[in-house]
Amino acid sequence: MTITPVENQTPGFVAAAAAASGAFFGLFIGTSQGSGLLGILIGAAIMAALGFALTAMLSKEKPIRWLLIAAFAVAGYGTGGLPAALLGGAAGWFAGWFIFWLATSRYRAHLAPYLTSGQVLWHYAFRVICGAIFTFLITPILVVMPLSFNAQDFFTFTPEMLRFDPAGYSLKHYRDFFGNQAWQDALWNSIRIAPMATVLSVTFGTLAAIGLSQPHVPFRRAIMAILISPMIVPLIISAAGMYFFYSRIGLQGTYMGVVMAHAALGIPFVIITVTATLVGFDRSLTRAAANMGADPVTTFFRVQMPLILPGVVSGGLFAFITSFDEVVVVMFVGSAGQKTLPWQMFIGLREQLSPTILAVATILVGISVLLLATLELLRRRSERLRGMSPG
Amino acid sequence: MKLTKLSALVASTALCAPMAMAQDMADELTIVSWGGSYSASQKNAYHDPYTAMTGVKIINDESSAEAVAKLRAMNEAGNVTWDVVDVVASDAMRLCDEGLAEEIDHDADLAPAPDGTPASEDFGDLLVSECFVPQIVYSTTFGYRTDLVGDTPPTSVCAIFDLDAYPGKRSLQKRPIDNMEWALYCDGVAKDEIYDVLSTPEGVKRGLDKLGTIKDNVVWWSAGAETPQLLADGEVVMGSTYNGRLFSAIAEQNQPIAMLWDMQSFDLDGWIIPTGLSPERKARAMDYLRFATDTQRLADQAKYISYGPARASSAPLVGKHAELGIDMAPHMPTDPANATNVHIYDYEWWADNRDDLNAKFQAWLAK
């Protein structure tokens, strides 16, 4: 086993590693400017040169890093104004930090000294890959947010917006959402439909999961498969089937029809999460409760329910989100009187690309984040109260 | 003096007539249309006045794009939930052939022009089907970015195929209709021979080959809002869409876009009433139809969107834009200055060849 000490690196190594990072970022900037290849070359060249030069000046790290930030920011300002200056500043900060981090072997400081260079490389490559995946998942959602404050009626970053000119921004799409009858009706419909569908799915789903976890129920697997099928069958097929069935029995185009359709879609989520929590449920507790004179209903509410509550709540959350986000089934089963928010957004995307959709999306993302954060806080609190975690 | 009294009397009887019959009519109407600024113009010109006059509640459903499929499904399920449906003429013809739309006696069911001309004469040639009441004449035409075409803005539709003079992407609708005609026209086929050429396999190949010269530079759209968005982004240099969309991008949103009216393709949009309605609902739908397609109402709609009213008697009444106060007449596809070279799209030819050509077009797209 070799021990690698933390010591300064050769200029050649720093230049090569810095060039690789320069090529990576150059690819994106180059592609957005028309030529990915040119971007890779220029990025690699700049970073290699900097890496080579800065390795000789390790003693003056602080002033050099500030200088780099300033130089990159000025270069950015020269090419693209204020936003490019900010981007340039960030790039300058990264270049300075990365090169000195490499040159002084700081990257090894926190790792076990016996790791080979290959293991160290993988350690950081893994983090870069995870970061890239995270970025690609989250960026499309973040891009929508500034666009929703667009002063124009298009999905476009206008020159005013890119200059951070206040005239390029406005709240008019939010005003449109709150002032427009069609959007308000849709919001109201969603608020009326989703909780009702959630209540139904949670009730039936929990009861079904408890029933199906009893060993003496015949055909458990077959029943389970049927109850879960709405999640597996393509939505459009369920939707078409429901449309013809509900039409015949007079439920098509009614509030109850949409609620029932959404409840059917939500039940599988509740069944799956509740079944999972029931696996850890100790059945002798119900027998103990019965032994002490509690009837099955009391046992359920006082003993079983509190223990499987996390599964019920997360299943309910999935059921709520399913109903709140659903667009295919409601377009079949509902009529224009049950137009929900996703339906209204779908129409908006097809017929008129109005940034009001983006304003609604931003509001919904905000609500989802709040909802999940609240849930997580409540979960931690209950864990603490029950002494399951030290925090 | 006498005349004003008389017209007031006529107006008040006209207003009272629907009220007197209100008992045996439904008090709710579901009207299906295209959404966006088009539905908004109908709401302003037709729905709001009708609700004010009768108290009927109007529900808007923006499902015209899939109207044919949905009406078939509703009919099969025996549960028709729509009362009045806005469709393009070719869809109306299909629905009429399949018995999904009510036949309409244009002279008896629709209001005559103010001078007494019967409706069938007032609409004239635009009555392309006995189930269809035309509402507007619109066109599919091109808009281009004024700042991306240099000093020589395009004046001919063939600029679409001229990658040397106008480099960059263009957006075209993802369907063979219009695109094939434009391709053949720009390949040197005389306008009146386009459909003869297109009826032969060689003609189809010739059209697709011409489109093939720009295939790598085309963004294909399927919703009318896409081209205005692409133009506003500068993603495309020019693109086809409905003329009303371009008008709203140019006049209402001040985008650097201009119209290219050459070889604009006229089409009709209007109302049908689905079959299978209960007598009360059908009576209400017919009452609405009579109101919404009279001379004044059609002219009113043109205040909100730049589509030409389908009645000849409405044309002189077209005024200024309701908010911008600009004259609407020069923005109509039917304005003589815009209609110097128009493409009349042949409904019957396309009704016979649509499925076949569509399959060839989609296969060509996928290649």
| Partner-chain contact B59 A252, CB within 8 Å | no
- Residue A347 touches chain B, beta carbons under 8 Å: yes
User: Averaged over B40-68, what is the pLDDT?
Assistant: 91
Counting the structural domains of chain A, the total is 2
Q: Does A35 touch chain B (CB under 8 A)?
A: no
**Mean pLDDT for the stretch of residues A85-111:** 87
Answer yes or no: do A78 and A205 share one domain. no
- Cβ atoms of A158 and A152 within 8 Å: the answer is yes
Nearest-by-Cβ selection for A247 from B60, B78, B226: B78
Residue B49 has pLDDT above 70, yes or no: yes
Interchain pair A154, B73: CB under 8 A: no
Least CB–CB distance from A351: residue in B36, B59, B73: B36
CB atoms B62 and A347 under 8 Å: yes
Q: Measured between beta carbons, which residues in chain B are less than 8 angstroms from residue A153? A: 253
pLDDT at residue B264 greater than cutoff 50: yes
Could you tell me if A352 lies within 8 Å of chain B, comparing CB atoms? Answer: yes
Give the chain B residue nearest A251 (alpha carbons): B79
Per-residue confidence (pLDDT) for residue A53, from 0 to 100? 86
Return the percentage of chain A with pLDDT > 90, whole number.
Answer: 34
**What ipTM was predicted for this assembly?**
0.73
Could you tell me which residues are beta bridge partners of residue B170? B218, B238
Range of the domain at A318: 180-354
A81 shares a domain with A190:
no
Of A83, A115, A147, the last residue of a domain is A115
Q: Per-residue pLDDT tens for A100-126? A: 888 888 888 888 888 888 888 899 999
Q: Which of A7, A214, A209 is nearest to A104 (CA)?
A: A7
Q: Does the structure show a pLDDT above 70 at B17?
A: no
> Residue ranges of the alpha helices (H) in A4-116?
11-32, 36-54, 61-103
CA distances to A8, A113, A115, A126, B242 from A110, rounded to whole Å, are 15, 9, 11, 16, 63
Inter-chain CB proximity B232 and A247 less than 8 Å: no
The answer to whether the Cβ–Cβ distance between B79 and A252 falls below 8 Å is yes
pLDDT number for residue B316: 85
Does the pLDDT value for residue B26 go beyond 90? no
Q: Is residue A34 over pLDDT 50?
A: yes
For residue B201, pLDDT beyond 70: yes
Instruction: Say whether both A197 and A315 belong to one domain.
Output: yes
Per-residue pLDDT, A388: 58
Min distance B250 CA to chain A CA atoms (Å): 12
Cβ atoms of A330 and A340 within 8 Å: the answer is yes
What residue ranges define each of the domains in chain B, with the CATH number in brackets?
2-131+273-330 (3.40.190.10), 139-266+336-366 (3.40.190.10)
**Is A122 inside a domain boundary?**
no
Cβ of B77 within 8 Å of Cβ of A154? The answer is no
The Cβ of residue A252 has, within 10 Å, a number of other Cβ atoms equal to 23
φ/ψ (deg, to 5) at A53: -70, -45
Cα A175 to Cα A182: distance, rounded to the nearest angstrom: 13
What is the largest distance, in Å, between two alpha-carbon atoms of chain A? 83
- Do B276 and B76 form a contact (C-beta atoms < 8 A)? no
The reply to whether residue A350 touches residue B65, judged by beta carbons under 8 angstroms, is: yes
Confidence label for B271 from pLDDT (cuts 50, 70 and 90)? very high
- Kindly report, residue by residue over B103-123, the tens digit of the pLDDT: 999 999 999 999 989 999 999
Both A319 and A209 in a single domain?
yes
Q: Does A45 touch chain B (CB under 8 A)?
A: no
| Mutation target among B28, B76, B81, B174 for the A interface, most CBs of A within 10 A | B81
| Nearest CA-CA distance, residue A133 and chain B, Å | 27
Q: Give a yes or no: residue A379 inside a domain.
A: no
For residue A387, being part of any structural domain is answered with: no
Q: Which residues of B touch A181 (CB under 8 A)?
A: none
Do A241 and A326 lie in one domain? The reply is yes
Mean pLDDT of chain B: 88
B175: burial class by Cβ within 10 Å (0-12, 13-18, 19+)? middle
| Residue A111 and residue A185 share a domain | no
What confidence tens digit (pLDDT) does each residue in A127-165 have? 999 999 999 999 888 888 888 898 888 887 877 787 778
Query: Which of A180, A245, A331, A352 best probes binding to B when mutated, by most B CB atoms within 10 angstroms?
Result: A352
Burial track A214-235 (b if 16+ CB lie within 10 A, e otherwise): eeeeeeeeeebeebbebbeeee
* pLDDT grade for B18, boundaries at 50, 70 and 90: very low
- Verify that A245 and A104 share a domain, yes or no: no
Give the distance from residue A383's alpha carbon to the nearest chain B alpha carbon, in angstroms. 48
pLDDT, position A152:
81
Q: How far off is chain A from B47, nearest CA to CA, in Å?
A: 14
Residues B48-76: what's their mean pLDDT? 90
Pairing of strands B218-221, B257-272: unpaired
Q: Residue B1 pLDDT more than 50?
A: no
Q: Which of B29, B31, B62 to mutate to test the interface with A (most CBs of A within 10 A)?
A: B62
Q: Does residue A172 lie within any of the structural domains?
A: no
Are residues A222 and A312 located together in one domain of the fold?
Answer: yes
Of A115, A132, A152, the residue at which a domain comes to its end is A115
Same-domain check for residues A204 and A307: yes
CB pairs < 8 Å spanning A and B = 73
Residue B342 three-state SS: strand
pTM summary value? 0.77
Band the pLDDT of A57: cuts 50, 70, 90.
Answer: confident
Is there a single domain that holds both residue A340 and residue A232?
A: yes
Under an 8 A CB cutoff, do B229 and A156 touch? yes
Picking from A87, A115, A143, the residue at the C-terminal end of a domain is: A115
- Interatomic CA distance for residues B45 and B228, integer angstroms: 24
Say if residue A213 is in the same domain as residue A81: no
Q: Give mean pLDDT, residues A39-67.
A: 87
Q: Both A321 and A187 in a single domain?
A: yes
Residue B184 CB-half CA count within 13 A: 24
Q: Do B229 and A350 touch (CB under 8 A)?
A: no
Chain B residues within 8 angstroms (CB to CB) of chain A: 30, 32, 34-39, 59-63, 65, 73-74, 76-79, 81, 223-226, 228-229, 232-233, 253, 255
Asked if A154's CB is within 8 angstroms of B229's CB, the reply is yes
What average pLDDT does the segment A198-224 reach? 92
Quick check: is A24 in a domain?
yes
pLDDT digits (tens, 9 = 90+) for A281-336: 888 888 899 899 999 899 988 888 888 888 898 899 889 988 988 999 998 898 88
Average pLDDT, chain A: 87
Q: Name the minimum distance, in Å, from the CA of B330 to any CA of chain A.
A: 24
The CATH number linked to A224 is 1.10.3720.10
The confidence band for A1, taking pLDDT boundaries of 50, 70 and 90, is: low
Q: Which residues of B touch A152 (CB under 8 A)?
A: 232, 253
Whether B232 sits inside 8 A of A347 (CB atoms) is no
In a domain? residue A57 = yes
Identify the weakest region by mean pLDDT among A258-262, A321-325, A385-389, B63-67.
A385-389
**Residue B224: which of A240, A253, A351 has the nearest Cβ?**
A351
> Has residue B42 got a pLDDT over 60?
yes
Q: For position B14, what pLDDT does the model report?
A: 47
Contact B79 A155 (CB under 8 A): no
Q: B32 contacts in A (CB within 8 Å)?
A: 336
Q: Read off the pLDDT of each residue in A189-212 and give the average, rounded to a whole number.
A: 94
